[in-house]
Structure 1
Amino acid sequence: MDVNLNTTNADSISNHGMERLIHGQSFTYGELYAATGGFSDDRFLGEGGFGQVYRGVLDNSQEVAIKILNLQGNQGDREFITEASVLSKLHHTNLVKLIGCCQDGDQRLLVYEYMPLGSLKSHLHDLSPDKKPLDWNTRIKILVGAAKGLQHLHVNVDPPVINRDVKSENILLGDGYHPKLSDFGLAKMGPTGDDTHISTRVMGTLGYCAPDYLESGKLTVQSDIYSFGVVMLEVITGQKVIDDSRAKPERNIVEWAIPKINKKDFPKLADPVLNGQYHMRSLFRALTVAALCVDRTANRRPDITAVVDALTQISESQSSRKRWSSRLQSSVGSSASTEPRIEDWNQAKDQGEGS
């Protein structure tokens, strides 16, 4: 599948050009104003780098999420067109569906399917009284689905699409906690031919960005893998990605978690709200995959298909024991790293099972 993310001349694209570039329904500002009750406070869902998001109801009674571009924000027409172009052409059960857009005068809005359970982040931190903590099986299920969405971007698209902003806030949950990746305003086409990376201005979210990308501006699909590994640690541990209440060297979740993983201090890494309700072997394997994903050296990180395979086996092993796949090992190659490696995984069989 080919996707064109060339938005160099985004500011000069006409309304007609937008219609050709973006496959979806075209809305007027008035239609979306009415759908949200005048963007009333009781319809407000949240705010991100793009702008504010409101729940709306279209004339056909369909519930939608409507994102308004903040004209004074960090993202502009280029990011608006990138996100609309990506989502209008890429269709997958784990990517949020774009219904349409609005380019009315200087107004820029995007219309998505409504995800009733909100973001993954909202289910991990500072829970509201009406939200119960996610159980272990649901956490793994969400990680599997999110990884499959990323797999679609990296594997099924030519050239691959690098999301560049994978984080728990951008993983939205539908009925049954079905996860979908959202927010593609920073997406870039990956390298082609013999190129190993693309050079670009560093963008993303503090704590989720790969250190090699931060230091060099060289972007690869492995940059997304690092970010996904951070999400995994967040989901497994319940810890915030950046937490000033932790000691200074451990304010970043990776710096907090990796020493504990190396010491095989697994029970201390599980989210306390789980109250021990997880299989120890499942926890061990999930932490090992996460550690591989956040390796500081990009070429030692697994590819996304290996991550999907590993997480799928973890999910399936909740009810039946399965032989651990060697695919992840072959994808990362040999390494002298002292961090958890593939040969450690089967040791979890001797760790026993949590109740």
Structure 2
Amino acid sequence: MPSDKKKNVLVGIRLDSESRDLLSWALGKVAEPGDCVVAIHVTRNSDHALGQKLLLEGYLEAYEGLCSIKKVDLKGQIHKGNSIRKVLIREAINYGAVALVVGIDKRSPLGGWTSTARYCTKRLPTTTNVVAINKGKIVFERSNKNELSGLKGDPRPSLYLTEKLGTRECQSEYGDSEVGSEISSFEGIQSSKDGSRTSSEDSKIEILSVIHEGKRIPSPSISLFAGDNMDYKPGWPLLLRASSAPPQAKHARSMSVVKWVMNLPSRSPHDHSPRGSTIKEIELNQLGDDNDGNETNSSMQYELQKCLEVLLNTNSSDCRWFSYGILKAATDQFSTAENLIGEGGSNRVYKGILPDNKAVAVKILESSKEACKDFANEIEIISSLKHKHIMPLIGICIKDRDLISVYDFSSKGSLEEILHGKNKGKHALPWELRYKVAVGIAEGLDYLHNELSRPVIHRDIKSSNILLSDGFEPKLSDFGLAIWGPTDSSFLIQADVVGTFGYLAPEYFMYGKLSDKIDVYAFGVVLLELLSGKRPISFENLKGQQSLVMWAKPIIESGDVKGILDPNLNGNINETQMLRMVRAATLCITRSGRLRPTMRQILELLRGEKEVEKWGETPNEEMESQEQHDDDEVYPNSRPELHLSVAMLDVDDDCTSFSSMEQS
């Protein structure tokens, strides 16, 4: 039985964006210091359990900071069962839960919105609160006399609706049929370490034990509330990341998004192929000490494939699995001479033609533990996105040591190639297309930051990651560094800073302070590239002017805005649009992230919306004063030139990007 010293709160979740809000609500509103929150996902298919385990680890990782701040333990479990409701009831009883929290399914048009909550209410002891949440509001509750203090003050309807829900919002998140509750045996998965559990529970799946404990030292990537005060010390997370975290934090970080895949044991692919191995064989071999790297790779790829199948099903993605043979034929056996269009690090990109004559870009990443983690993260994010200015993922393939992703082929190449390539003088990009690119990418970033249930931070906005189609339609690509942004805080702190020099926001580069504002800053640099035709970092410029930002700022501040324009434009510009873009760029590269505008504001400014345009053209003396003196992100005792010079240490002139492959 759970300890009397801590209360247990159970949350029924699905591995989707809606349940993130549900879990955030439970952690913020119900759990108190010392409590344990148990997130339970129920699957009917044991074949998917291992992949879902991997997905659940990444799903819960985002709550590390919140758990640390609230001193709450967070545990994730995956159970096999035919009835989700009955699994939740059984676990609530086993844990002696003080509360069970469930959500509302927006996708099913049938059933009653209180079905799961009411069902559980009738079968759970009165000592257990049962709460149903929709959009952060309580729509159903059965509370006991010993009410949790976290719920006090929250408007509640007891057993009544708080708002009128539409038909599509009227199905309980767990409105499943009550088929038998028999729990299928799933060998090879370790049960909870809680020795007080009954032997009958050994057959159920419990993939994870405690994921985050509030009393532990948080990992280097933590979430902070906007109102929290933190004693910042200027540092160099990018250069000193190897020694920036204490041992406990390093260990916590090493067990991140795909912890389970990264720690798979070694197994020989000659003995067991990825598809031929049973789940039991894979799981039992986790205890082995075999150091054969090929065996580890085999197991890792098998579980990665399971994880990706779950991801694509969860996100209802149009992405499909390609056979290796089709991609090999499409690229003429991955011909280096004819079809290789980009290469960098462990990545290669080939042009290919599918059997239906569709042109594609085939990106191949050589697999490793870290590569598998990055690949899974990228697929999770990009498969959930759908926007005309974001490059869609067409398909994926895993073969031997290759992790393969397939995208539309962009016939015009990248913005970087067009602006800075060999033909930039002969075929300069005309102004109307530059402005079209600026507005299009602003729309894509606004979608990432503001139109998803959970925001996405790209982290590598740059001209080489903006691809142009036949009609010069811009598409944002390469989500290899992208992460889910915080929903219950204004920023994260990360010890490891990644990105590309010349595009890194000061607060991120210096302090590891991560928010969607770093994308805004990088977009401002792209705007300066569009305006000037110059690279973000140029070693040909005079000392102190190697950064495009440092070169452009004094010219703009002097009032000579035309002084930054690309001479290849020959003065053929729309002056109104040019002034909007200059103002937008100036606001984007505001050194203080706190004072930097949002992408929504920048988009409205570029579109010429009157109120925003008036705001954008009016100098804000108070903001400028704050930026120069009173903001902790501006580093009043140092100069940006010094930051840049230190950043350039140990960096090759020909390699300034930490991103994955730059497509051309």
TM-score, structure 1 normalization: 0.85
Indicate which of 613, 622, 625 corresponds to 1:325. Answer: 613
Three-state SS of the structure 1 residue aligned to 2:390 is coil
Distance 1:48 1:231, change over 3 A: farther
2:608 is aligned to 313
1:98 aligns with 2:389: no
**1:1-355 superposed matches below 5 A:** 2=17, 6=59, 7-9=257-259, 11=262, 12=300, 13-22=303-312, 23=317, 24-40=319-335, 41-48=337-344, 51-71=347-367, 76-128=371-423, 132-313=427-608, 325-326=613-614, 334-337=622-625
Equivalent position of 2:158 in the other structure: none
What is the alpha-carbon distance in structure 1 between the residues aligned to residue 341 and residue 387 of structure 2? 24
Change in 2 beyond 3 A, CA 1:324/1:277: farther
Report the CA distance shift for 1:323/1:223 in structure 2 as closer, same or farther (over 3 A): closer
Asked if structure 2 preserves the Cα contact closer than 8 Å seen for 1:165 and 1:205, the reply is: yes
CA separation of 1:294/1:185 partners in 2, compared to 1, >3 Å: closer, same or farther? same
Question: Is 1:21–1:85's contact at 8 Å kept on the other side of the alignment?
Answer: yes
User: 2-side partners of 1:122 and 1:277: how far apart?
Assistant: 21
- Distance in 2 (CA, whole Å) between partners of 1:49 and 1:146 is 27
Distance in 2 between the 1:58 and 1:333 partners? 57
- In structure 2, give the amino acid aligned to 1:8: V
Query: 2:474 and 2:426 mapped to 1: Cα distance?
Result: 17
Mark the CA change 1:35 to 1:337 in structure 2 (over 3 Å): closer, same or farther.
farther
Please state how far the C-alpha of 1:107 moved relative to its aligned partner. 1.4
Distance 1:306 1:329, change over 3 A: farther
Q: Identity over aligned residues, as a percent?
A: 37
Counterpart residue identity of residue 461, structure 2: V
Q: Secondary structure at the match of 1:292?
A: helix
Q: Which amino acid aligns with 1:262?
A: E
Q: What does the per-residue CA deviation read over 1:316-350, in whole Å, with 9 as the maximum and x for residues that have no partner?
A: xxxxxx776346589x99513499xxxxxxxxxxx
In our comparison, the structure showing a higher alpha carbon Rg is 2
Which range is displaced more, 206-215 or 128-137? 128-137
Question: In structure 2, what is the Cα distance between the partners aligned to 1:102 and 1:306?
Answer: 39
Deviations 1:228-258 (A, max 9, x none): 0000101110011111111110101000000
Distance 1:265 1:327 in 2: 20
Residues 87 and 307 (structure 1), Cα distance of their counterparts in 2 relative to 1, 3 Å cut: same
Contact kept? 2:601, 2:612, Cα under 8 Å? no
User: 1:281 deviation in Å?
Assistant: 3.6
Q: Provide the TM-score with structure 2 as the length reference.
A: 0.47
Q: Distance in 2 between matches of 1:213 and 1:107?
A: 32
**Alignment coverage as a number of residue pairs:** 330
Residues 1:214 and 1:258: Cα distance change in structure 2 (over 3 Å): same
Larger RCO, structure (CA 8 Å, separation 6 or more):
1
Which stretches in structure 1 are left out of the alignment for 5+ residues?
Answer: 315-321, 340-355
1:69-117 CA-partner distances (Å, limit 9, x unpaired): 0448x97112212222222111100000101101123210100011111
User: Is the deviation greater in 100-109 or in 125-134?
Assistant: 125-134
Instruction: Summarize deviations over 1:183-208 as a string: whole Å, max 9, x none.
Output: 00101111221453343520001111
Contact 1:223–1:298 (CA under 8 A) maintained in structure 2: yes
Change (3 A) 1:78 1:136: same
Deviates further, 54-63 or 206-215: 54-63
SS in 1 for 2:439: helix
**Secondary structure in structure 2 of the residue aligned to 1:15:** helix
1: CA distance between counterparts of 2:600 and 2:611?
A: 17
Aligned to 1:89, what secondary structure does the other structure show? Answer: coil
Pair 120,75 (structure 1): closer, same or farther in 2 beyond 3 Å: farther
CA distance in structure 1 between the aligned counterparts of 2:510 and 2:500, rounded to whole angstroms: 14
